[in-house]
Amino acid sequence: MTSAVPDTKADDVLVLSQVTFRRDGREILHGIDLTVRAGEHWALLGPNGAGKTTIVGFCAAQTHPTTGTVDVLGKRLGRVDMQELRRHIGHVNPRHSLRSPLSVVDVVLTGITGTIDTPMRWTPTAEQIDHAHALIDDVGLGDRRTSTWPTMSQGERGRALVARALASDPELLLLDEPTTGLDVAAREQLLETIDGLAVTAPNVASILVTHHLEELPESTSHALVIAHGAQVASGSVNDVVTSEIISRAFEHPITVGHDAGRWSARAVRAREAP
């Protein structure tokens, strides 16, 4: 019997259908389903070791599933040039391995070339430079555009990486624990920048990976919660990010709060438990 082809739609940016993944003979993911459409902003939630990074590898066109299918921007992994596909995916990784003293402008321009450093014998066009400056303004770094990477704070780097990820006008934006290493003020500035994308890039779909509910932007529209490589819940963020579902995924009684568009999580103390 042949497997059914997913009922994809024109605005489907990403479709994972019954995806499994095995490494060293061990199954890490067990039948994951996910459909992300244009303009949706997803959170990928789960404890450490749940399989979030593996799922991001599919979304970023870096890894093939063992079984099941992955369609990214209408292209099925295994039937497409992965390198070319990655040019249309923005990826924000706080562990960006840049060591050169590039300016903010140059860092953003590397989003067009898909490289860490500026490629040799490559010169950006005037239009590309103007686009980079506009993105830098959008993320609130207009007064830091000539600053070099080693002199920038972790928060400034995070916002520069968001601008870099948008430089190639991607249809899909991946934010892999983007607030890692940030203090509270820098985290809030970065989340404000991410929220602003709903206005500055309304058609871009995004997936933000985290295990901290307080790191979810207000613009989050949907959530996928996983644990032990299996899907716990998926759908509208208000239906999925609940005390019952988060407690089940993290295997600990947790009270989820939601106030003024932001989420919080607090462990239930023994005396509070029913």
**Which of the listed residues 149, 169, 189 is the one where a domain comes to its end?**
169
Structural domain contains residue 93:
no
User: Is the entire prediction scored with pTM above 0.85?
Assistant: yes
Give the percent of the chain with pLDDT over 70. 95
Contact 225, 213 (CB under 8 A): no
How high does pLDDT run on average in the chain? Answer: 89
The domain containing residue 270 runs over which residues?
Answer: 1-88+170-274
Confidence band of 186 (pLDDT split at 50, 70, 90): confident
**Which residues fall within 8 angstroms of residue 81, CB to CB, at 6 or more apart?**
none
> pLDDT tens digits for 28-63?
999 999 999 999 999 999 999 899 999 999 999 988
**Residue 93 DSSP class:** -
- Residue 226 and residue 270 share a domain: yes
d(CA 141, CA 213): 26
Give the total number of structural domains in the chain. Answer: 2
d(CA 217, CA 225): 16
d(CA 71, CA 8): 9
- Residue 113 and residue 176 share a domain: no
- Residue 224 and residue 124 share a domain: no
Q: Phi, psi (5° rounding) for residue 164?
A: -60, -45
> Which among 72, 50, 89 is positioned nearest to 210, based on CA atoms?
50
